[in-house]
């Protein structure tokens, strides 16, 4: 398969069976909720189906043919993911159930090894709850403190203000590569450099970056990074924690049980080698195989092309929505580096907008998008988010804009 999507091709959409349906029996599906979760191409569905139909068994410990096949595919998937995100060693790729689980793993295990009373963890006001709550829990366990770097009135990120938040007690910084609401990319490279110069551990929430842009964790210099499979055309129930080997060897296991040990006695246990040390229990075998198929699909198309396509759709959407009276964007156009467009209409319920759009076959997200501190700071109780991906078209953007204008006019009447 080789696709070019300078303008989205019919071939790409044909790879996604779910897109070819009518909503409420009469409206073609326009799926614009990709920042929450993406759809799956046939290649992913077939890879998972083939494993279940022909090769499935538990991995690593079996000596029979099916176990050997499943193990080979599972570990090949790990190598595929390592190559995709620039890990030096496949053992630095830990399969989890998603970004949330990966960040919880780091917050629990890293804090157990490092965090002391009075230490500080630096976050930003832009973070998803999955990159806030685990750190708050870790701080509470160890008598540490979570510090939130301020942002500008329009949600803009100021590198200098972030740097001012560092103190001699700053032990870790964690931040999203791309905001799941505002859609812009933080200055990852200078942020990592500044933190590393001060001996501060860096954790990257890459959930909104890995599906949309080429990324190389080793070159970026981050210590840990997390992302989810379902946001990059893969299945639910699987995510990835990337960790530098020296950190993964230093911190203790998060979960105990089968697979993560090299030995157990009545007096204790010895953890296994990486990556088994952090993969207790039966792992997401078929999900990993499906995620590897998704990664191959995206790599074949090219993330650079996908990113440009998304941004072109987002620009088109902003131009159309700017013509609609009452819309207030949550972010400035010059800062947008992804396919996310978030807005609200003062005096009009975001949920009502989403419900009426659904009646026309359009799927968007309404609410606080798991960023309550950000919405509180912006003074917006809830917003509407349209998010685009490789299978969306300019025609869908135009249809969305027209139906949104009708919806707002109806709700404002």
Active site (catalytic) residues: 370
The answer to whether the CB of 205 falls within 8 A of the CB of 99 is yes
What gap in Å lies between CA 212 and CA 77, rounded to an integer?
Answer: 20
What gap in Å lies between CA 217 and CA 205, rounded to an integer?
Answer: 11
- How many Cβ atoms sit within 10 Å of the Cβ of residue 348? 17
What is the SS3 assignment for 3?
coil
The answer to whether the CB of 341 falls within 8 A of the CB of 386 is yes
Distant-in-sequence, close-in-space partners of 224: CB < 8 Å, separation ≥ 6 = 106, 110, 201, 202, 203, 204, 241, 242, 243, 244, 247
Distant-in-sequence, close-in-space partners of 269: CB < 8 Å, separation ≥ 6 = 256, 261, 263
Handedness of CA 222, 236, 302, 1 (dihedral sign): positive
Q: Say what the alpha-carbon torsion angle 311, 317, 322, 325 is, to the nearest 10 degrees.
A: -150
The answer to whether the CB of 51 falls within 8 A of the CB of 73 is yes
Distant-in-sequence, close-in-space partners of 300: CB < 8 Å, separation ≥ 6 = 1, 2, 3
Task: Give Cα 176 distance to the centre of its chain.
Answer: 9
What is the SS3 assignment for 248?
helix
What gap in Å lies between CA 156 and CA 148, rounded to an integer?
Answer: 14
End-to-end C-alpha distance for the chain, whole angstroms: 50
> What number of CA atoms fall less than 13 Å from residue 259's CA on the CB side?
19
What gap in Å lies between CA 219 and CA 273, rounded to an integer?
Answer: 24
């Amino acid at each position: 398969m080789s696709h070019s999507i300078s303008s989205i091709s019919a071939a790409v959409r044909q790879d996604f069976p779910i897109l070819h349906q009518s909503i409420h029996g009469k409206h073609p599906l326009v799926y614009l909720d990709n920042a929450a979760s993406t759809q799956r191409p046939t290649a992913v569905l077939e890879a998972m189906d083939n494993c279940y139909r022909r090769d499935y068994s538990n991995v690593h410990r079996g000596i029979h043919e099916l176990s050997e096949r499943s193990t080979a595919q599972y570990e090949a998937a790990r190598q595929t993911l390592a190559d995709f995100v620039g890990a030096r060693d496949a053992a630095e790729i830990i399969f989890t159930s998603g970004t949330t689980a990966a960040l919880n793993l780091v917050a629990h295990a890293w804090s157990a090894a490092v965090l002391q009373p009075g230490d500080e963890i630096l976050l930003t006001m832009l973070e998803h709850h999955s990159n806030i709550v685990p750190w708050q829990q870790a701080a509470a366990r160890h008598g540490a403190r979570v510090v939130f770097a301020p942002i500008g009135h329009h949600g803009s990120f100021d590198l200098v203000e972030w740097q001012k938040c560092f103190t001699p007690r700053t032990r870790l910084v964690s931040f999203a590569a791309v905001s799941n609401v505002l859609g812009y990319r933080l200055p990852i490279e200078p942020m990592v450099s500044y933190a590393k110069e001060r001996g501060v551990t860096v954790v990257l929430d890459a959930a909104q970056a890995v599906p949309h842009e080429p990324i190389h964790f080793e070159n970026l210099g981050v210590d840990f990074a997390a992302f989810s499979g379902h946001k990059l055309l893969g299945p639910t129930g699987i995510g990835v924690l990337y960790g530098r080997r020296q950190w993964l060897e230093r911190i203790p296991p998060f979960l105990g049980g089968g697979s993560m040990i090299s030995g157990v006695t009545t007096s204790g246990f010895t953890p296994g080698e990486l990556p088994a040390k952090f993969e207790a229990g039966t792992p997401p075998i078929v999900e990993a195989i499906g995620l590897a198929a998704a990664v191959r699909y995206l790599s074949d198309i090219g993330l650079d092309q996908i990113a440009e396509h998304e941004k072109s759709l987002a620009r088109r959407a902003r131009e159309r929505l700017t013509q609609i009276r009452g819309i207030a964007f949550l972010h400035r156009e010059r800062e947008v580096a992804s396919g996310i467009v978030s807005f609200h209409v003062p005096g009009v319920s975001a949920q009502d907008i989403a419900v009426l759009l659904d009646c026309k076959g359009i799927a968007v997200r309404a609410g606080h998008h798991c960023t309550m501190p950000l919405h509180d700071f912006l003074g917006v109780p809830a917003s509407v988010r349209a998010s685009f991906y490789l299978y969306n078209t300019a025609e869908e953007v135009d249809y969305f804009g027209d139906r949104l204008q009708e919806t707002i006019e109806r709700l404002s009447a």
